[in-house]
Amino acid sequence: MKKLFLIFSFLICAFMIVGCKNDVSENTNDSTKNVVDEEKKTDENTDAKEDVKLDFSGRTLNVIATSEKYQKLFDLFTEKTGAKVEFLSMSSGDVLSRIKAEGKPVSDLWFGGGLDAFLSAKESGFLDSYIPKEADKVDERFRDKDGYWIAKGLTVVGLLVNEEMLKEKGLEVPKTLEEIKDPKYKDLVIMSTPEVSGTMFAFVKGILDKYGEEEGYKYLEELNNNIPFYGKRGKDPQEKTVAGEFAIGIIPIDKSAFDAAKEYNLTAIYPEDGIAWVPEGVAVFKDAPGSDMAKAFIDFMLLDENQELLAELDGKDGNQMIKQGVSGYKLGLDKNLLIDEKIEEFGSKRDEILNRFKEITKDK
Amino acid sequence: MKRRLLYLDRIIIISVFFVIFLFILFPIIQSFYFTFIEEKDAFKVFSDLIVEHKKTIYNSILLACLTGIVSSIMSVFVGLSLSFSKGIYYRFLKAVMFIAMISPPFVMSLTYINLFGRNGFITKEILNLSFNPYGLMGVLIIQSLSYVPLSSLMIENACYNLNRDVIDASFDLGKSFFQTLRKIVLPLLWPSIKIVFILNFMKSISDFSTPQIIGGKFQTLASESYLYMVTEGSLLKACILNIIIFLPCIFIFYFYKKYNDSIPTNNYNKMSDLKMSGNVLRFVKTIGFVITFVILLEYLSLVLEAFTKGRIRDLNFTLEFFVESHMYLRYSFLRSIIYSLFASFISVFLSSVYVYAKRTINSAFIKKFDYISMLPFAIPGTFFGISYIYAFRSYPFYLTGTATIIIMNMLFKQFPLSVSSLEDGVNRMDMNLFDAVLDTGRDRIYILKDVIVPLNLRYIFLGFVNTFIKSMTTVGSIMFLVYPGTKLATITLFDVINSGKYHVGSVIALYIILFCTVISLICKYIFNRLEKKDE
């Protein structure tokens, strides 16, 4: 009888511990709600003092980031403000579907992702607006005028070329976008599908903005003939070009591309006739328990030294950062080559462009 | 006193059944409800999707059938090799199969490209072929190879259950190995082979990661459903595609239950002492060896990926990826372990009470309920995850974003296996023992405490270890349930691989494999000690 009781109580404890785990996280969420309300009241006072020491100790900032590599930046934020940072990698489409399905934000801060998803979220009312303190130092193209999103940097599109493979086939190395649609490169080109990859969507949009719609879709049709299938993941083209499966990968170019090129004897190229680009969005979720911390993070991110760190973590050339004067890595990006893109259309024309693209590429 | 225990017995049983219903059937019901009833134009979206994805549906079913066939054939070869081997060679085969059962997601597809791609180690360096690894062929090979470990162990077990007398008689009558195999062994193994086919069919049709990485143009319903979540952010479409996968699974599941119930499990005869020889035997053992070797090669390739850099010709040993991985694993690895342990412990409790109830209470309701408890076998992982979102996103069961929803999901996905494992043991028990407890005047619940649990520790440990391993390596179902504060190791792995950090991914995979192996060995040790104590 005693033994039975012991076993039973152990199991009840086990259940309680499991239950408690959630209670703890829910409790902190409740307490943060209270703090947010209080902070709202004291906001008017703190606005006057510029140098307020932020203290978020005991609280957790939840972040959706595009990758795990931002640990260092988040650690610095923790050092400065005492807030613990938990982050999760999720694709932008996933984020949207989770908010719609669960009726609540997945996190406090959305750090990086396809701009089209940010525009869609803005329209659906999922985002909070915030004009950061140093907004005037950021180029207009790289932030939302109403403050719903701001860029953390630009992703630019370039080519990763396997020169050996091309030499074996007697082909020259392409240096421009115009060249890669040439039929001599048939079956040697790979890119990810723009449905999944925000960068490739920017590439498609960049082509349409560069050549105009008619010519642009014609270009895509011709390029399609050189591509046997479209990668279903963002990193597919880089992986597969490195593995020697393809000779020309259309990829987001950053330091990791240059590093992979060096390690595996490939060449990373900025196309000389125009570079497609897309801002990587950062936004705060509406009604998130830690939205005050998220806003503080945006200010934190815009500080010069953190912009440098961000450039280092992302492997970006200084010209890919949104603030003037950040040096970053010297990768040779000429910012005058950036295609003149209509960023607002990233949201409004997304469905139209993707449908047209699907027609052209018929189940590849 | 007696009354209290009687109520205790009833309360525990009712709560367990309620929990099983809540976490298995309820989510499915909710998914169907929200997909078809709440959503307007649901049937139109449904039929439009079916028409749009005719090719994908065909691909999924074709792949599943082919994988089922190929993996069954491979498992028979390896299973037979296992049962006819002994000594060190046997232990080598068994060890490879055990480690290969712990297969973290994605990594096999990636090592496959390393070995069999256009520039693959085997295809280019050794065989000097230029082989296109993408498409149906590639996915078929990878899936079949990854299902072989578990399936071959099932076939081996089935061999031990064969009636030795008949086989001995056959040899005594002078029949060759091939004739015995053809006329006796294979026909007797046939029900188990059918089971293996069904299980692998269901696994293949639910697999979303392999077609994504090496499918190329060949995509399946599972990979497309994941894409809908990622690109359009459409939970509805992802759910519908998953329901389309679910339907054939449910249909086949019925056959699974029928065949499974007809397999005898009471014997245990080793076959390795039979004096056999002949070319056919050698052929079977060779093929078995080749398959095992290829599987081993994949894991070795993983180790290489983790600790070396550069092309095959000039590899440099490095620890940089090992060091880098710690940054990624910081919180998520420990969290995976804790959640998996919780899932395993609770699963042991729930399955014991469930089997106890099944065996001691004669009720038609409980027999029908069995279908519910076995249901997760047929539910594709991604569907199981999506249905939990539908089920637990509002009161009274508001669990989204918590640790509980993930633990329950991991637990119940493996519930059927824990239950089958325990039932295997209970089936071998002498039913008189149950009566003996009641005869001494004690209450029914003591059957659970004094008979079922102590005499089936082996099966309980098996269920525990299996739930632990599968929970550590699951990704499809929990992918849609994780929040920043509940991130797990496999999600980190998924992200790292998506970022192209192959090498770090291999380190993480090795960590998972290592840890699962350690836990299995610890459990084995504890179990052996407990057994020794009894003697």
What does the pLDDT look like over B390-434, one tens digit per residue? 899 887 888 888 899 999 999 999 999 889 888 878 877 777 887
Q: How far is CA A332 from CA A36, A161, A253, A254, B515, in A?
A: 45, 17, 11, 11, 45
Among B15, B12, B34, B16, CA closest to B351 = B16
Residues B175-198: tens digit of each pLDDT: 888 888 888 888 888 988 998 999
Angle of CA points B337, B341, B345, to nearest 5°: 175
Among A15, A75, A255, A345, CA closest to B19 = A15
Q: What is the mean pLDDT of residues B60-75?
A: 95
Q: What is the mean pLDDT of residues B517-526?
A: 90
Q: Which residue of chain A is at minimal alpha-carbon distance from B227?
A: A196
**Which candidate in A2, A12, A18 is best for mutational testing of the B interface (most B CBs within 10 A)?**
A18
pLDDT at position B535: 57
Q: Which residue of chain A is at minimal alpha-carbon distance from B8?
A: A8
B480 at interface of A, judged by CB pairs closer than 8 A: yes
Instruction: Give the gap in angstroms from C-alpha B99 to the nearest C-alpha of chain A.
Output: 27
- pLDDT-derived band at A28 (thresholds 50, 70, 90) equals very low
Is pLDDT above 50 for B509?
A: yes
Residues A206-263: tens digit of each pLDDT: 999 999 989 999 999 999 999 998 988 777 888 888 878 899 999 988 888 888 888 8
A100 at interface of B, judged by CB pairs closer than 8 A: yes
A97 at interface of B, judged by CB pairs closer than 8 A: yes
- pLDDT-derived band at B28 (thresholds 50, 70, 90) equals very high
Share of chain B above pLDDT 90, in %: 24
Residues B334-387: tens digit of each pLDDT: 999 999 999 999 999 999 989 888 887 777 888 788 888 888 988 888 899 999
Q: Buried b vs exposed e over B172-188: b needs ≥16 C-beta within 10 Å?
A: eeebbbeebbeebbeeb
pLDDT at position B118: 66
Is pLDDT above 80 for B27?
A: yes
B528 at interface of A, judged by CB pairs closer than 8 A: no
- pLDDT-derived band at B24 (thresholds 50, 70, 90) equals very high
- pLDDT-derived band at A20 (thresholds 50, 70, 90) equals very low
Give the amino acid at A356.
R
pLDDT at position B1: 47
Among B398, B379, B376, CA closest to B389 = B398
Among B273, B350, B315, B468, CA closest to B19 = B350
Is pLDDT above 80 for A77?
A: yes
Name the DSSP class of A321.
S
pLDDT at position B534: 65
pLDDT at position B218: 87
Is pLDDT above 50 for B439?
A: yes
Q: Could A25 and B234 be called an inter-chain contact, meaning their C-beta atoms sit closer than 8 Å?
A: no
Is pLDDT above 70 for B40?
A: yes
pLDDT at position B266: 62
Prior bond of B454 cis (ω within 30°): no
B 340-399: CB under 8 A from A: 342, 345-346, 349, 389-390, 393-394, 399
Judge residue B502's burial from the number of C-beta atoms within 10 Å of its C-beta, 0-12 exposed, 13-18 middle, 19 or more buried. buried
Q: Is ipTM over 0.90?
A: no
